[in-house]
């Protein structure tokens, strides 16, 4: 058996979606990992970060927390991720995880000036994505699920920005050749996304959006999911 992947759990789904279990389960299933191929550490609940030895790579989940709140567990995780990135451990951050890796490596994370991005959004790949192990060969534009208030406003120094949406200039980046962050949720199915839209009905209404119309526009996002699966395959093939 290959070395397992470490999943750092940084938060829980919205309450109405917890009957579908949590982010680590969604990620493991979407990534094509068996139960014994992933080790989950709930850093938000105070669990200790393990030694980096013996893992094929690390995947960092989304969260309802904000990176700018600088929670103790979040800053401790950022330090661990910074060291892991410099040591060459394969990393893949999703939403909060994307922002946390960017923060850990010196990028800037904050509330997006244009507010919330939510629903099935169209990503546009930058030309440099064509040479990226996770994004090469994908369509120049493809849909992905997103829900966030904060964004990576400035990618870490030396990072390559790979994708953008109309709303967010940094929807994906690579730092070095083994660390990625994606603002979108490759583990979200259309069911997950619609559940999130329903859960945010009141907030969306306050912001002038119709949750029913947004839910109707949700679609499947197979190319986004493929990015996560490619990370797993890529990490498994790297020398350690």
Hey, which residues are catalytic here?
95, 185, 187
Q: How far apart are CA 181 and CA 188, in angstroms?
A: 16
Q: Cα separations (Å) of 66 from 128, 129, 189, 203?
A: 29, 28, 23, 17
143 burial class (0-12, 13-18, 19+ CB within 10 angstroms)? buried
In the chain, the N- to C-terminal Cα span, in Å, equals 15
Instruction: Give me 138's structure tokens.
Output: 């994908």
Residues 6+ apart with CB under 8 A from 197: 118, 119, 204, 211, 214, 215, 218
Instruction: Give me 86's structure tokens.
Output: 């410099």
């Amino acid at each position: 058996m290959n070395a397992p992947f470490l999943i750092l759990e940084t938060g829980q789904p919205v309450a109405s979606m917890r009957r579908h279990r949590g982010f680590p389960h969604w990620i493991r299933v979407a990534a094509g990992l068996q139960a014994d191929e992933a080790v989950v550490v709930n850093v938000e609940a105070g669990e200790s970060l393990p030694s980096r030895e013996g893992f094929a790579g690390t995947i960092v989940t989304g969260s309802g927390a904000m990176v700018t709140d600088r929670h103790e567990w979040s800053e401790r995780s950022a330090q661990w991720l910074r060291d892991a990135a410099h040591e060459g451990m394969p990393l893949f951050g999703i939403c909060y995880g994307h922002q946390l890796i960017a923060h850990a490596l010196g990028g800037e994370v904050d509330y997006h000036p244009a507010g919330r991005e939510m629903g099935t959004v169209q990503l546009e790949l930058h030309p440099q994505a064509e040479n990226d192990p996770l994004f090469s060969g994908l369509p120049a534009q493809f849909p992905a699920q997103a829900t966030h208030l904060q964004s990576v406003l400035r990618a870490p120094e030396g990072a390559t920005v790979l994708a953008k949406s109309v709303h967010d200039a940094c929807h994906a980046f690579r730092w070095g050749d083994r660390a990625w962050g994606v603002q979108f949720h490759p583990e979200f199915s259309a069911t997950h996304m619609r559940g999130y839209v329903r859960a945010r009905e009141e907030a969306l209404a306050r912001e002038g959006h119709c949750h029913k119309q947004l839910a109707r526009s949700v679609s499947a996002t197979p190319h986004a999911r493929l990015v996560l699966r490619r990370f797993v395959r890529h990490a498994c093939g790297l020398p350690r």
